[in-house]
Structure 1
Amino acid sequence: MANPLLEIEGLSKRFVGAKGTVTALQNIDLSVREGEFITIIGPSGCGKSTLLRIVAGLDTQYAGSVELEGSPIDKPGIDKGFIFQEHRLFPWLTVEKNIASDLSLSNKEVRRDVDELIELVRLQGFEKAYPRELSGGMAQRVSIARALLRKPKILLLDEPFGALDAFTRAHMQEVLLEVWRNNRTTMLFVTHDIDEAVFLGERVVILKPRPGEISRIVPIEMAYPRKKTSPDFQSARLKVLSQFESVEEPVFTQGAGI
């Protein structure tokens, strides 16, 4: 078996504050293959976002080992794309210039790549639009294209669709899967929504809180594209739901995330 793209071993993270020390993550072991789509779910406060920040190199104060292609992650870099819940676009730049960001569109290679990404995330006709003229889903598509332009080895997504309405969220899930199928960029996707985790992920990592530890890793053995109304999907969803029995204080409702 080939070496994993991302290897996390014995990861623990503690925060020291006025009220004492809080252990956010403890004994996290996770191997991620190149091109794999991993979704991460768990109750609020279980350290999902902290885990992504560490993999992104935004937080380097931790115990354990976190390596990308065999090298320790000790700083941010273009090899690790990060998509936040809010789009964080530059309001004074158009869609195409937001995607290019610090790169010049006068460069033929950059121009070609930006045009290809605009088509991939279905934003044709909005190249000259400004963020204020876009819907929430469209703005997130710009964020995804901007991250992909740098050709990252891994794309980290921290509840990127959490603020969207149900219809837009479902559409964005389809867009993201299309991006993944075309680019095969390795993805770590944090969500509170069980349906979303099962719909997107090849494996679902379930975290439990206080301290944040991996409770289960559930493989989703379904081919793409997936239909949420299919018996196979409902079976996989119930399989994931059943694993929450050992998670402390699970908070979820029928048809909603945790």
Structure 2
Amino acid sequence: MRTILSIENLNKTFETPAGPVQALRDIKLQVKPGEFVTIIGPSGCGKSTLLKIIAGLDIVHDGEVLLEGQKVERPSIDKGFIFQEHRLFPWLNVERNIAADLSLSQPEVRQKVDELIRIVRLEGFEKAFPRELSGGMSQRVAIARALLRSPKVLLLDEPFGALDAFTRGHMQEVLLDIWQQNRTTMILVTHDIDEAVYLADRVVIMDARPGTIRRIVGVDLPFPRKKSSTSFQEYRRLVLSEFERIEEPAGAGNYDI
């Protein structure tokens, strides 16, 4: 099968008060269309930096990132990005947040917004403002807004990190539902091993700084998955065993990369 995203020999170094810090080293990754990839690793290993480079938000690096054969050099609508904070416009209601700069008076926009509201399970909240929504609901609006532009890849940087365990579990189900209905290629960064295994076709395990890909684990389990099942726990133990072998870097300070 062809690849939609290709990362070759990617290296990234930051200048810090303590001197140069290499955040990423020799990253190579191929992602197939419609694939769900999760990235997990210790704090500071460059997971978020990698996601920003894929999004075109950081273009100062060595190596190449290609989306459908085109070099990524800037942000664009074909790369949706979901942050940990929902970043909704507080003065716009749900449907207008999803539409953003597009007019709801356009029939095709109206239809797509209504469809996405159904997909993210927010029927009845179309006129609600962000202050009236829970954290999970706000993230669903942010995901719908990103999907409205039909991105080729949706990048999610710990989108459920600030949510309680119950809401986080619910949002994982919602995200899987969205993925299965749209088959949008998704890459999600997380610190949660259960989340990484539960959502992914493949789990990318990153080593500590400088961030390298330690191992990629294919998760050959059908959906829906049960976290309590023996097969799920076997994959969880495999990822955890790799994670426990990671050595923390010495020196260079504690920089959030």
Settle same-fold status: TM greater than 0.5. Answer: yes
Which residue identity lines up with residue 18 of structure 1 in the other structure?
P
Structure 1 length normalisation: TM-score? 0.95
- 1:239 pairs with 2:241: no
Aligned partners of 1:79 and 1:150 also within 8 Å? yes
Which residue identity lines up with residue 236 of structure 2 in the other structure?
R
Shift of 1:19: 1.9
- Give the length in aligned residue pairs: 249
Aligned partners of 1:215 and 1:246 also within 8 Å? no
- 1:26 pairs with 2:43: no
Matches within 5 A, 1:86-105: 86-105=85-104
Q: Distance in 2 between matches of 1:18 and 1:43?
A: 22
Shift of 1:17: 2.4
The aligned counterpart of 1:178 is 177
Q: Distance in 2 between matches of 1:169 and 1:40?
A: 17
Q: Distance in 2 between matches of 1:126 and 1:141?
A: 11
Matches within 5 A, 1:77-226: 77-226=76-225
Which residue identity lines up with residue 206 of structure 2 in the other structure?
L
Which residue identity lines up with residue 220 of structure 1 in the other structure?
V
Residue by residue over 1:93-130, the C-alpha shift from the partner in whole angstroms, topping out at 9 and shown as x without a partner, is 00000000000000000000000000000000000000
Residue by residue over 1:16-37, the C-alpha shift from the partner in whole angstroms, topping out at 9 and shown as x without a partner, is 1232100000000000000000
Q: Distance in 2 between matches of 1:162 and 1:144?
A: 15
Shift of 1:151: 0.2
The aligned counterpart of 1:230 is 229
Shift of 1:3: 2.5
The aligned counterpart of 1:45 is 44
Q: Distance in 2 between matches of 1:49 and 1:17?
A: 17
Q: Distance in 2 between matches of 1:93 and 1:111?
A: 16
- Bigger shift: residues 121-130 or 12-21: 12-21
Which residue identity lines up with residue 172 of structure 2 in the other structure?
Q
The aligned counterpart of 1:4 is 3
Q: Distance in 1 between matches of 2:41 and 2:104?
A: 41
Q: Distance in 2 between matches of 1:181 and 1:27?
A: 32
The aligned counterpart of 1:68 is 67
Structure 2 length normalisation: TM-score? 0.95
Aligned partners of 1:5 and 1:69 also within 8 Å? yes
Which residue identity lines up with residue 247 of structure 1 in the other structure?
I
SS in structure 1 opposite 2:24? strand
- Bigger shift: residues 202-211 or 126-135: 202-211
Shift of 1:138: 0.1
Q: Distance in 2 between matches of 1:242 and 1:221?
A: 18
Which residue identity lines up with residue 73 of structure 1 in the other structure?
V
- Structure 1 consecutive aligned stretches of length 4 or more whose deviation exceeds 6 Å: none
Q: Distance in 2 between matches of 1:185 and 1:209?
A: 29
Which sections of structure 1, spanning at least 5 residues, go unmatched? 251-258
CA RMSD of aligned residues (A): 1.0
Shift of 1:212: 0.5
Shift of 1:47: 0.1
Which residue identity lines up with residue 106 of structure 1 in the other structure?
S
Q: Distance in 2 between matches of 1:249 and 1:50?
A: 18
